[in-house]
Amino acid sequence: MGSESMLWVNHRDNDFHHFGWGRACLMMLVLLGLFVIPLHASPGPEQLGIMLKIDNMLEKKLSWNEKAANIEKQFQLAAQAHARWVRVAVLWEALESHPGVWDWRGADKVIEAAHRHQIQMLWIVGGTALWDSTNKDWNGAPKDLANPHGAFPQYVRKLVQRYKHAIRYWEIRNEPNLDKMSIEQYATYLRQAWRVIKDEQPQGVVVLGGLGGTLPDQLSYFRRLVGHLRKDGTALPFEIANFHVYPYHASDSGFSGPGSVLKYTQSCDESIRKTMDQTGLGQMPVWITEIDYPAEAKHQARDPEFHHGPSSQALFVEKVFDELARGHPERKLFYASLLDDFDCGNEFRSTGLVNSDNQYRVKRPKESYRAMSRLLGAASQP
């Protein structure tokens, strides 16, 4: 069991054994039938977040002033929507474009903006600098991956040393199961990152890289990864499991007709929990760091309730995003993403809460942004 999940369980145990007068009174009211505890409490403000498009934007041919202003604008929009958490990345290649040549301007701006708007971050560690990649692309494995003093561990060390005052949660790569990297290579990558993070920041929390693709493929990869990591008998090098759920895949997964989006979402939740139990990790927190829904009807699921364009995207935020968080106080969910994703194309071009162009210039907010603001605002109310 990871330390984060152990911490959560210990808190629950402590609450159970040390009620105090207030809890004793509440328990008496419950026993008398005068007070009902909801079985599925509404999600709290710490559970819901938004993924920003910082890494994608920094790759575009914008002036530095435009990039700095864009970073501020994205954080401003997140704050105005009452978000307390964002998922963000400035990739290795942007920080170290050549061996030993570092450019921290973009990452520093992110840290400053997060501090200014009082937003916490889940930071994605990755991908691979092109000069150290086995396939000369961001999705390849580092050439000297097995070397504990290689380029990748050095990058992680510099990153954590610089920002450990501002970041506690580190996600080790995004969708590693879709990269040009074997399970064995990702296991080494994960262990290298874990070792450095725990060395530099013992209280730092390591989050498994969010898995992508179809959920059955994600769960299969997860089981095989956990099995491989356990072979050496040491502790798993992550404390939070991490999956991506895309309910517009409902129709492609055999769910269609009225209620299919919610049924598919519930099925995903059940499948994830079953896999966690099967791997002996039932007490480990599960985060869903990407979940969204397109605004274009042609890419939406064949569910009458969620097949009306922008209004259905807004409804998705209010009902489905909320559904996956409800009753799971240990879970965080990140809507992916704040801006439309033109790099991935197809349905991702309309999944943003805010309109943008192919350079990630911020345009006008959508109906779904207002829905997210209502949801997060309500969650923030005492």
pLDDT attached to residue 43:
78
Give me the number of domains the chain comprises. 1
Q: Is the pLDDT of residue 343 over 80?
A: yes
| Cα–Cα dist 131/155, whole Å | 13
User: 100-134 pLDDT, tens per residue?
Assistant: 999 999 999 999 999 999 999 999 999 999 999 99
In a domain, 215, yes or no: yes
In a domain, 5, yes or no: no
pLDDT attached to residue 18:
35
Confidence tier at 300 by pLDDT (50, 70, 90): very high
User: 220-273 pLDDT, tens per residue?
Assistant: 999 999 999 999 899 999 999 999 999 988 988 999 999 999 999 999 999 999
Each as own residue / partner, the long-range contacts of residues 2-6 (CB below 8 Å, 24 or more positions apart, any chain) are 2/235, 2/236, 2/238, 2/239, 2/240, 2/284, 2/285, 3/205, 3/239, 4/205, 4/239, 4/240, 4/284, 4/285, 5/239, 5/240, 5/283, 5/284, 5/285, 5/330, 6/283
Select from 298, 288, 354 the least CA-distant residue to 323.
288
pLDDT (mean) for 23-40: 46
Listed range (93-97, 306-310, 374-378) with the worst mean pLDDT: 374-378
Mean pLDDT of the residues in the chain: 89
Q: Is the pLDDT of residue 352 over 50?
A: yes
In a domain, 7, yes or no: no
Confidence tier at 94 by pLDDT (50, 70, 90): very high
Listed range (144-153, 172-181, 344-353) with the worst mean pLDDT: 344-353
pLDDT attached to residue 38:
46
How many other C-beta atoms are found inside a 10 Å radius of the C-beta of residue 230? Answer: 13
Domain that holds residue 330: 38-380
In a domain, 3, yes or no: no
In a domain, 251, yes or no: yes
Mention every residue, 6+ apart, whose C-beta is less than 8 A from residue 172: 125, 126, 189, 190, 193, 194, 206, 207, 208, 209, 238
Q: DSSP code of 319?
A: I
In a domain, 22, yes or no: no
CATH of the domain at 253: 3.20.20.80
Percent of the chain with pLDDT over 90: 80
In a domain, 6, yes or no: no
